[in-house]
Amino acid sequence: MADELKRGLEGVLVAESDLSYVDGEVGKLVYRGYDIEDLARGASYEEVLYLLWHGSLPTAAELDAFAADLAAEREVDDDVIETVRALADAGERPMAALRTATSMLSAYDPDDEADAGETTLRQGRRITAKIPTVLAAFERVRQGEEPVTPDPDLSHAGNFLYMLTGTEPDDVSEETFDMALTLHADHGLNASTFTAMVIGSTMADVYSGVTGGIGALSGPLHGGANQDVMEVLHEVDASSKDPVQWVKDARDDGRRVPGFGHRVYKVKDPRANILEEKLRDLAESSGDTKWLDYTTAIEEYLTEQGLVEEGIAPNVDFYSGSVYDSLGIPVDMYTPIFAMSRVGGWIAHVAEYQEDNRLIRPRARYTGPEDSEFVPLDER
């Protein structure tokens, strides 16, 4: 049994964690025992960060102090902004730009990297506060606009939208975006969180872990799927096909439908249910139901085809893009927004793991040749 190979580490237990639990059979997600529905509807992203990082929901006074400390860390050094400009000018993709800029942030961190365990949460707070500033600056520069200085009086969600557009968001936009951040904050040992943990388990600093997490999240099998979903919806919109025809063609070509399927969920992702409801509210109030109609048609068709019953159901990425679109956020910023939220989970898991650290070092079954006879270079 010890030698049983688990491709993709499916179902392998590698750690104990108090942080989040995903029940893929019934479609339930909890952060420290709290149902994601309750948190998404009742708690701000700052409250969720506090919960993940400090173990309990904050009192009003604790939240005020925590949110103020976080907001005080939002500004980034001018050198980082100049690098962001250079990356935007070079046409870098947003997730790659975020990866580079996050790594660079460590140069301006006042803490000593050598104390990885002790400083993880303090440095993590700085990274979490600065990532929105980096992302908004990147987007502004790309649009030929100047970056907007963060406003410490706004919430984490509100300030990001403000830095992106230059105007304070209305309440609905701020609440919607805050809910999206809460929904994406943590999700067990997903690929990017595990990446950050592996790096953290070497007692490397948290900048390394978060930078690695960003890289893992960028892939189309993970966070990149939210952008892919929206690109499909745009492609359908620009073509004469109806959404169901697009899906039929994609499946005939052996392509996967982005936003469907999950390693853990065998039923519809609870986060997808919450975002679908949000999308419905937004579509009803704006009168623009296009994305809602397309996504509903695709989901209905794949349900009729038995895909959902087989366990390939809508995941969080199926609805998040349409919600971001209603906030006017560009498509290639969707995955960076996922990173902007999930960074909270990465840091929580790295800090938790480092409390009782053991180097993560699995092994592979060797299938290469044995006893190869070495031939010197000049005789080959």
For ligand CMC, the binding residues (CB under 6 A) are 8, 190, 221-223, 225, 256-263, 312, 315-317
301 three-class SS = helix
- What is the radius of gyration, based on Cα positions, of the chain? 22
Nearest to 6 by CA among 361, 364, 379, 370: 364
Nearest CA-CA partner of 186 in 259, 271, 258, 126: 271
Which among 187, 222, 228, 349 is annotated as catalytic?
222
Q: How far is the CB of 337 from ligand CMC (least distance, A)?
A: 12
Cβ of residue 190: shortest distance to ligand CMC, in angstroms?
5
21, 270 in Cβ contact below 8 A?
no
Which candidate in 205, 317, 325, 349 is catalytic?
317
Q: What is the DSSP letter of 314?
A: B
Task: Please tell me the distance from the alpha carbon of residue 44 to that of residue 51, in angstroms, as a whole number.
Answer: 11
Question: Which residue, judged by CB position, is nearest to ligand CMC in the bound state?
Answer: 261
CA atoms within 13 A on the CB side of 217: 36
Smallest distance from ligand CMC to CB 369, Å: 29
Q: How far is the CB of 252 from ligand CMC (least distance, A)?
A: 12
Return the axis-axis angle of helices 316-326 and 290-304, rounded to nearest 10°: 170
From the candidates 156, 184, 187, 262, which is the catalytic residue?
262
Active site residue 262: yes
317 part of the active site: yes
Which residues have a Cβ under 8 Å from the Cβ of 348 and sit 6 or more positions away?
19, 52, 53, 186
Alpha helical stretches, state H, 148-289: 156-165, 171-184, 191-200, 206-217, 225-238, 243-252, 270-286
Cβ proximity to ligand CMC: between 169 and 224 the closer is 224
Q: Which residues belong to the active site?
A: 222, 262, 317
